[in-house]
Amino acid sequence: MVIRILVALYLILPGFAATSIAQELANATPIATTPGVASPGVDSPGVTAALTLYDSATVESQHLYNGKQYYVYDSREVEHQFFLTEDWTVGSVFYDGQQFEQVPLLYDIVRDQLVVRYRHGFGNVTLQNRKVRSFTLDGHDFMRVEADTGRVEGLRTGFYDQIYTGTTKVLARRRKERLQQLSETKITIAFPVKDQYYLYKNGEYQPVQSKRSVLMLLPEHKRQLKRELRKQNLSFRQNREEAIKIMAARYDELTKR
- Per-residue pLDDT reduced to its tens digit, 166-223: 999 999 999 999 998 887 788 889 999 999 999 998 888 999 999 999 999 999 999 9
CA 205, 207, 211, 217 dihedral sign is negative
- Confidence band (pLDDT; 50, 70, 90) for 238? very high
Cβ neighbours of residue 59 under 8 Å, at least 6 residues apart?
Answer: none
pLDDT higher than 70, residue 5: no
Question: Do residues 236 and 210 touch, judged by C-beta distance below 8 A?
Answer: yes
Say what the pLDDT of residue 118 is. 75
Band of pLDDT at residue 116, cut at 50, 70 and 90: very high
Are the CB atoms for 125 and 115 separated by under 8 Å?
Answer: yes
> How much of the chain exceeds pLDDT 90, in percent?
53
User: How much is the pLDDT for 12?
Assistant: 44
Asked whether the beta carbons of 219 and 201 are under 8 A apart, the reply is no
- Angstrom distance (rounded) from CA 151 to CA 133: 14
Residue 129 predicted with pLDDT over 70: yes
Q: Maximum distance among all alpha carbons in the chain?
A: 87
pLDDT score of 99: 92
Lowest mean pLDDT among 45-54, 89-98, 118-127: 45-54
Of residues 35 and 122, the one with the higher pLDDT is: 122
Q: How confident is the model at residue 64 (pLDDT cuts 50, 70, 90)?
A: confident
Which strand (E) or helix (H) includes residue 202? none
Give 87's contacts (C-beta < 8 A, 6+ positions apart): none
Burial degree of 75 (CB within 10 A; 0-12, 13-18, 19+): exposed
Q: Which of 39-43, 50-54, 216-220 has the highest mean pLDDT?
A: 216-220
Q: Please report, as a single letter, which amino acid is at residue 131.
A: K
Residue 116, CB-side half-sphere exposure with 13 Å CA sphere: 27
pTM of the model: 0.73
| pLDDT confidence bin for 246, thresholds 50/70/90 | very high
